[in-house]
């Protein structure tokens, strides 16, 4: 079993510190939106859907902490809190989706209860906001299960599958997106072998994904990223499945740096390349991948490994944390509403309107 990623109770959010995994299981308690935003920025929690769920809980913590006494105070607080949460990381659209959804709930309440709030109205507000945050999580869990089923159905028997980064339970509040597909297929007896790429520089594959696969009893091996092409060519890999941080409305997909390279290799070897992501990952405002903001992270994360320097002192480093895979290289998008293939704007719109 994978430990709970977020525990939300009585004005406290306990966040599983993923930086310490797989060696230590430790929770960081946060009591406000600023603490949640900091934990997100510092990568104590990560993975697109999980960042969204945490933002929803962080918003609820803040409303409960301040207990606004009027509609105008609620409105100001809600806008400020949503902005604070959205500033924590730029690429995963689930964060923006969740913060905006919480903001909307608060603004609708403020509009329906103008002026000073009675104690009963405040109580109602707190329950409403907590409930909305819990709903964001419940929807993520349901979506993961649905993606698992749709994805598993796409895979052949005796499937040799590869994944990248961590799009597992640790990246969501459910069974995961891409890893959810692998575990659902494993339960259906379809997985012969799974490969997890280590995912330099942050090592989500080495620290998190392979740990999840091992705990789930999936026959699996860890690879360094530069082994992927060789393994695909020589070990009968017949599917690759990854998650997504943001999908433009034409299907271009931002995911962890290195995903694009893997998709190019997959196309060369005619291996189907699947992206599993819930529909809130689809950003209707981004016409194509060029509109997606790519997070740049620190030089230290590239030049150091576990605190040890691996490059010369004073080295100049590039560190884009995500890349964009063009829709044309993606065999299918797997959402909680079904499978989108071929990946076109029209087919995405059809899936969204289900
Ligand atoms: O920087 P991270 O660890 O938050 O990046 C995570 C990824 O890129 C995942 O593959 C993506 O969020 C999909 S998670 C279901």
Q: Is the peptide bond before 342 cis (omega within 30 degrees of 0)?
A: yes
Residues 25 and 79 in one domain: yes
Is there a single domain that holds both residue 169 and residue 120?
Answer: no
Q: What is the mean pLDDT of the segment spanning 205-213?
A: 98
Claim to verify: residue 34 and residue 183 sit in the same structural domain: no
Ligand 1 midpoint to CA 255 (Å): 7
Peptide bond into 201 cis (omega under 30): yes
46, pLDDT greater than 90:
yes
Q: Which residue has the tokens 């406000």?
A: 32
Beta strands in the chain (DSSP E): 6-9, 12-16, 27-30, 159-163, 191-197, 220-223, 239-242, 246-248, 253-256, 273-276, 282-283, 304-305, 308-309, 322-325, 332-335, 338-340
Residue that terminates a domain, selected from 144, 163, 178: 144
The confidence score (pLDDT) of residue 54 equals: 98
Dist CA 34 CA 39 (whole Å): 9
> Which pLDDT score is estimated for 296?
97
Q: What confidence score (pLDDT) does residue 215 get?
A: 97
| Inter-residue contact 174 to 147 (CB < 8 Å) | no
51 and 138 in a common domain: yes
Is residue 48 included in any domain, yes or no? yes
Task: Give me ligand 1 centre to Cα 274, in Å.
Answer: 15
Residue 73 lies in a domain: yes
- Considering the domain architecture, whether residues 199 and 106 belong to the same structural domain is answered as no
Q: Is residue 1 part of a domain?
A: no
Let me know whether 40 and 93 are in one domain. yes
270 located within any domain: yes
Phi, psi of 15 (to 5 degrees): -110, 125
DSSP string, 24-81: ---EEEE-SHHHHHHHHHTTSS-SHHHHHHHHHHHHHHHHHHH---BHHHHHHHHHHH
Summarize pLDDT for 88-118 with one digit per residue, the tens. 999 999 999 999 999 999 999 999 999 999 9
Q: Which of 32, 130, 245, 252 is catalytic?
A: 245
Whether residue 208 is found in the same domain as residue 243: yes
pLDDT at 10 over 90: no
pLDDT value for 70: 98
Query: How high does pLDDT run on average in the chain?
Result: 98
d(CA 328, CA 337): 21
Please tell me the distance from the alpha carbon of residue 184 to that of residue 5, in angstroms, as a whole number: 20
Of 90, 118, 144, which residue is a domain's last?
144
Asked if residue 82 is part of any domain, the answer here is yes
Last residue of a domain, one of 128, 144, 160: 144
pLDDT digits (tens, 9 = 90+) for 177-186: 999 999 999 9
Q: Is residue 224 part of a domain?
A: yes
Asked if residue 153 belongs to a domain, the reply is yes
The CA distances from residue 97 to 18, 62, 279, 281, in Å, are 23, 18, 10, 8
Note whether residue 30 is domain-resident: yes
Ligand 1 centre and the CA of 215: distance in Å? 20
Ligand 1 atom 14, closest CA: 167
Q: Are residues 200 and 342 in the same domain?
A: yes
Is 32 annotated in the active site?
A: no
Q: What is the pLDDT of residue 1?
A: 85
Kindly state whether residues 139 and 159 are assigned to the same domain: no
pLDDT at 284: 96
Given ligand 1 and candidates 5, 16, 21, 48, which is best to mutate, with the most ligand atoms within 8 Å of its CB?
48
Q: How many domains does the chain have?
A: 2
Q: What is the CATH number of the domain that holds 41?
A: 1.20.120.420
Whether residue 204 is found in the same domain as residue 219: yes
Quick one: 155 and 128 in the same domain?
no
Instruction: List the residue whose alpha carbon is closest to atom 6 of ligand 1.
Output: 47
Interval 274-288: pLDDT, tens: 999 999 999 999 999
Note down the domain range covering 69. Answer: 6-144
**Among residues 181, 243, 334, which one has the least CA distance to residue 49?**
243
Could you report the per-residue pLDDT of 276-335, keeping only the tens digit for each? 999 999 999 999 999 999 999 999 999 999 899 999 999 999 999 999 999 999 999 999
* Ligand 1, pocket-test mutation among 42, 50, 167, 279, most atoms within 8 A of CB: 167
CATH number at residue 154: 3.40.50.10470
CA of 167 relative to ligand 1 center, distance in Å: 6
Residues 84 and 163 in one domain: no
pLDDT of residue 241: 98
Residue to mutate, 44, 51, 97, 204, ligand 1, most ligand atoms under 8 Å from C-beta: 204
Residues with CB under 6 A from ligand 1: 46-49, 92, 165, 167, 171-172, 177, 204, 243-245, 255-256, 321
């Amino acid at each position: 079993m994978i430990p709970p990623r977020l525990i939300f109770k009585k004005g406290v959010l306990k966040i599983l510190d993923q930086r310490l995994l797989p060696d230590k299981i430790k929770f960081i308690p946060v009591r406000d939106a600023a603490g949640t935003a900091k934990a997100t920025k510092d990568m104590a929690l990560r993975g697109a859907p999980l960042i969204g769920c945490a933002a929803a809980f962080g918003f609820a913590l803040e409303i409960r902490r301040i207990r606004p006494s009027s509609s105008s105070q609620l409105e100001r607080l809600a806008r400020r809190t949503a902005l604070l949460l959205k500033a924590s990381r730029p690429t995963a659209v689930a964060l923006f989706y969740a913060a905006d959804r919480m903001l909307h709930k608060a603004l609708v309440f403020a509009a329906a209860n103008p002026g000073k709030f009675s104690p009963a109205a405040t109580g109602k507000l707190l329950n409403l906001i907590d409930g909305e945050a819990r709903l964001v999580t419940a929807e993520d869990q349901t979506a993961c299960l649905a993606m698992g089923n749709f994805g598993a159905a796409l895979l052949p028997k005796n499937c040799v599958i590869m994944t990248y980064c961590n799009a597992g339970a640790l990246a969501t509040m459910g069974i995961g997106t891409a890893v959810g597909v692998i575990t659902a297929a494993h339960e259906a007896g379809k997985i012969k072998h799974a490969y997890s790429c280590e995912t330099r520089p942050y090592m989500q594959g080495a620290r998190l994904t392979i740990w999840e696969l091992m705990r789930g009893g999936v026959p699996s091996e860890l690879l360094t990223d530069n082994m992927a092409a060789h393994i695909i060519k020589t070990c009968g890999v017949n599917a690759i499945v990854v998650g997504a941080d943001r999908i433009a409305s034409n299907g271009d997909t931002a995911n962890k740096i290195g995903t694009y390279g893997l998709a190019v290799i997959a196309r060369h070897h005619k291996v189907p390349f699947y992206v599993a992501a819930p529909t809130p990952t689809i950003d209707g405002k981004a016409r194509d991948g060029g509109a997606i903001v790519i997070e740049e992270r620190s030089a230290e994360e590239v030049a150091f490994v576990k605190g040890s320097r691996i490059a010369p002192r004073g080295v100049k480093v590039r560190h884009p944390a995500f890349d964009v895979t063009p829709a044309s290289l993606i065999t299918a998008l797997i959402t909680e509403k079904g499978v989108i293939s071929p990946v076109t704007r029209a087919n995405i719109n059809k899936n969204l309107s289900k």
